[in-house]
């Protein structure tokens, strides 16, 4: 046993010794068992600089609530323990949660803390299988392999100290609302799954649909795949669609709402004319599915913008009469599996590759297919085939030439621009990414921070996917103008010197001069001198000969006024540096 593990055992055994000494004999065994479960997964590092009395106090604080916990509502307590009030203390604010054990709880609580900019310094999560009597008093703890209808969880968190009453109340409120959303999504998961399967069955039995059997089978395969734990269902509602004079309206059936949709009840119909033209076309076309993203981040499971799966209903004339709307998140399998294993997406990719018109046995086809396979999955799913094929073709044409390109896609519903930026990977850095974010925010009039995800592969390019959320993306864009500005951001001092040399001497001589000078200037020189100044210095250096090996240049800095008396001197030597100590006596 190491010294560290021995100290670990001693510290916790001291806690249990305090329980033996101080706790009533009737409760002692239960508190021992509770404590063993509670501390089971705590790490050695988390026990650093702690004392047994405070750990004992934290254990009893949780136990006193848990022992008679009424699961009809969650227990949420946020407080700063003090010796005088609670018998123990902590330098952090303490969060206690006790509730029915549900999926996504810990992830969602961490997200709530992140939204408030609060750091969790310690988080202990302890699910427990138990029995209680009719008065909610704990009767016994059950082993994990024993059947139990009662599984409750205890969460203990130490967070940044919240010093004001308002801060404590704000955190408490955020945790309550988060737990409510998790509970809503989890409680209605089975009804939502049943609903999805029932709708799939209804589509399967439909005799008249505005698509052929092959496409119908692809859609059914995709819906079955969603049901097979590949989509985390969080909300559902049915909307009836009706034509009114010169317009269409979507009317919510609030009684059909499940999961998170219960939090957004509204009787107000939505007019289609209020949506962008692309959204109106998508809503009324004869595609069976409507796949996009919502404009709100999930507060459950992971902080991504929720995925939207709309399943349309049609009348005998092929007109849209209703929509079954599911909200949720695609599971990890959607992002990590081969696209060949994802229905709908695999067929879409096959058609996109066919649009390339490359022979399947050629290297070009394989390269094109690889670009598609490694492209962001959400983009592949949401982008129309022809538009996606054009983007992939543009990426393919870049090959490995080391150029910078921008590809922009407008969201169908007008809520964001999806911007894919490729830059040579040796030029990618955090500063360039921040400057690109700022440029896109200005150019696209983004309403908030421009989000980004960067991807590196064996390619010579770094690919960064930027999402710029806007009030309306119908504005006309000059993508080439934005792309040119990004190119300017990627240019280094040496790039600008290279351009200056080409302009001054032509390509052939410029290449020769680049070999001699492109990496010859020190960082201090490039910080103080523009490439145009370096061009003059190179010209002076090129004029030196073994016979005339010393040159000089008097000049007035650009920053000085025209009537300034300040003049600077540069000395050039063909063979060796000129030391200041040699020059000053002559001057």
In DSSP terms, which residues pair with 405 in a beta bridge? 422
Domain contains 418: no
CB 436 within 8 A of CB 415: no
Q: How far apart (Å, rounded) are the C-alpha atoms in residues 127 and 144?
A: 10
Domain contains 532: no
Q: Which residues contact 329 (CB under 8 A, 6 or more apart)?
A: 231, 232, 234, 298, 301, 302, 304, 306, 307
pLDDT of residue 9: 65
Of 103, 362, 404, the closest CA to residue 232 belongs to: 103
Residues 124 and 48 in one domain: yes
Domain contains 408: no
pLDDT tens-digit series, residues 113-168: 999 999 999 999 999 999 999 999 999 999 877 776 799 999 999 999 999 999 99
Residues 130 and 205 in one domain: no
In DSSP terms, which residues pair with 305 in a beta bridge? 297
Residues 134 and 19 in one domain: yes
CA angle (422, 428, 432) in 5-degree steps: 95
Residues 178 and 196 in one domain: no
User: DSSP assignment of 451-505, as one string?
Assistant: EEEEEE-SSSEEEEEEEEE-S---S---HHHHHHHHHHHH--HHHHHHHHHHHHH
Mean pLDDT by 10 residues, the chain (587 residues): 52 91 91 93 84 93 95 95 93 97 97 98 94 93 78 96 97 98 97 98 94 96 98 98 93 96 86 91 95 94 96 96 98 93 95 90 91 94 94 91 94 94 94 97 94 92 96 84 96 91 91 90 90 91 88 78 76 83 65
Structure tokens at 377: 């999955």
Structure tokens at 497: 């010197």
Domain region containing 64: 3-187
Residues 197 and 254 in one domain: yes
pLDDT of residue 569: 82
pLDDT of residue 4: 47
Domain contains 382: no
Q: How far apart (Å, rounded) are the C-alpha atoms in residues 35 and 189?
A: 33
Structure tokens at 78: 């946020």
Going along 133-205, which residue ranges are E strands?
138-142, 151-159
CB 207 within 8 A of CB 232: no
The helix (run of H) or strand (run of E) holding residue 39 is helix 25-39
CB atoms within 10 A of CB 556: 13
Q: How far apart (Å, rounded) are the C-alpha atoms in residues 5 and 530?
A: 61
The residue whose two tokens read 């396979």 is 373
Residues 72 and 97 in one domain: yes
pLDDT of residue 1: 42
Residues 164 and 288 in one domain: no
Domain contains 302: yes
Residues 178 and 227 in one domain: no
Q: Using the 3D structure, point to which of 336, 370, 400 is the last residue of a domain.
A: 336
Domain contains 343: no
Residues 229 and 149 in one domain: no
CATH code of residue 233: 3.30.450
Give SS3 for 129. Answer: strand
Residues 216 and 170 in one domain: no
503, 509, 512, 513: CA torsion to nearest 10:
-50
Domain contains 520: no
Residues 132 and 211 in one domain: no
pLDDT of residue 5: 46
Domain contains 423: no
Domain count, the chain: 3
pLDDT of residue 149: 72
Question: pTM of the full predicted structure?
Answer: 0.86
CB atoms within 10 A of CB 209: 17
Q: How far apart (Å, rounded) are the C-alpha atoms in residues 270 and 273?
A: 9
pLDDT tens-digit series, residues 293-335: 998 999 999 999 999 999 999 999 999 999 999 999 999 999 9
Structure tokens at 442: 């200005």
- As a three-state string, the secondary structure of 366-430 is HHHHHHHHCCCHHHHHHCCHHHHHHHHHHHHHHCCCCCCEEEEEECCCCCEEEEEEEEEHHHCCH
CB 179 within 8 A of CB 125: no
pLDDT of residue 73: 94
Q: How far apart (Å, rounded) are the C-alpha atoms in residues 327 and 313?
A: 17
Q: Using the 3D structure, point to which of 137, 170, 187 is the last residue of a domain.
A: 187
pLDDT of residue 587: 55
Q: Which residues contact 213 (CB under 8 A, 6 or more apart)?
A: none
In DSSP terms, which residues pair with 307 in a beta bridge? 293, 328
Q: Which residues contact 231 (CB under 8 A, 6 or more apart)?
A: 307, 309, 326, 328, 329, 330, 331, 334
573 phi/psi in degrees, rounded to 5: -130, 140
């Amino acid at each position: 046993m190491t010294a560290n593990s021995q100290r670990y055992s001693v510290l916790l055994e001291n806690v249990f010794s305090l329980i033996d000494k101080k706790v009533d004999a009737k409760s002692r065994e239960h508190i021992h068992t509770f404590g063993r479960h509670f501390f089971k997964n705590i790490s050695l590092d988390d026990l650093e600089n702690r004392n047994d009395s405070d750990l004992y106090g934290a254990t009893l604080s949780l136990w006193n609530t848990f022992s008679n916990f009424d699961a009809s509502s969650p227990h949420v307590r946020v407080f700063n323990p003090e010796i005088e009030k609670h018998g123990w203390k902590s330098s952090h604010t303490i969060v206690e949660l006790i509730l029915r054990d549900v999926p996504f709880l810990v992830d969602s609580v961490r997200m709530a803390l992140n939204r408030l900019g609060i750091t969790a310094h310690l988080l202990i999560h302890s699910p427990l299988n138990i029995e209680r009597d009719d008065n909610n008093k704990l009767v016994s703890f059950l082993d994990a392999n024993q059947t139990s209808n009662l599984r409750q969880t205890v969460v203990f968190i130490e967070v940044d100290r919240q010093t004001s009453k308002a801060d404590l109340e704000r955190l408490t409120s955020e945790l309550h609302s988060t737990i409510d959303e998790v509970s809503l999504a989890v409680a209605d998961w089975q009804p939502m799954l049943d609903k999805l399967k029932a709708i799939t069955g209804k589509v399967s039995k439909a005799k008249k649909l505005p698509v052929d059997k092959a496409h119908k089978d692809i859609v059914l395969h995709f819906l079955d795949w969603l049901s097979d734990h590949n989509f985390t269902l969080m909300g559902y509602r049915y909307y009836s669609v009706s034509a009114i004079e010169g317009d269409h309206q979507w009317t919510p059936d609030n009684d059909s709402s499940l999961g998170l949709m219960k939090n957004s009840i509204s009787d107000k119909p939505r007019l289609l004319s209020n949506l962008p033209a692309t959204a109106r076309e998508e809503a009324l076309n004869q595609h069976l599915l409507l796949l996009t993203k919502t404009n709100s981040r999930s507060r459950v499971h992971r902080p991504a913008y929720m995925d939207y799966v709309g399943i349309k209903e049609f009348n005998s004339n092929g007109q849209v009469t209703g929509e079954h709307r599911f909200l949720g998140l695609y599971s990890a399998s959607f992002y990590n599996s081969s696209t060949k294993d994802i229905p709908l997406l695999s067929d879409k990719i096959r058609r996109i590759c066919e649009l390339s018109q490359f022979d399947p046995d050629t290297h070009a086809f394989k390269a094109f297919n690889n670009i598609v396979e490694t492209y962001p999955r959400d983009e592949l799913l949401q982008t129309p085939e022809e538009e996606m094929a054009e983007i992939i073709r543009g990426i393919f044409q870049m090959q490995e030439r080391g150029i910078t390109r921008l590809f922009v896609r407008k969201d169908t519903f007008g809520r964001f621009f999806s911007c894919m930026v490729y830059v040579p990977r040796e030029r990618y850095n955090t500063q360039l990414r921040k400057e690109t974010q700022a440029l896109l925010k200005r150019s696209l009039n983004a309403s908030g921070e421009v989000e980004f995800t960067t991807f590196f592969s064996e390619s010579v390019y770094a690919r960064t996917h930027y999402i710029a959320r806007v009030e309306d993306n119908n504005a006309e864009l000059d993508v080439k103008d934005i792309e040119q500005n990004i190119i300017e951001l990627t240019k280094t001092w040496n790039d600008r010197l290279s351009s200056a040399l080409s302009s001054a001497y032509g390509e052939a001589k410029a290449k020769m001069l680049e070999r001699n000078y492109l990496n010859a200037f020190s960082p201090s020189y490039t910080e103080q001198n523009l490439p145009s100044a370096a061009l003059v210095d190179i010209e002076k250096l090129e004029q030196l000969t073994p016979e005339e090996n010393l040159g000089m240049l008097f000049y007035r800095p650009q920053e000085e006024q025209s009537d300034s008396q300040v003049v600077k001197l540069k000395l050039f030597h063909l063979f060796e540096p000129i030391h200041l100590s040699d020059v000053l006596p002559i001057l």
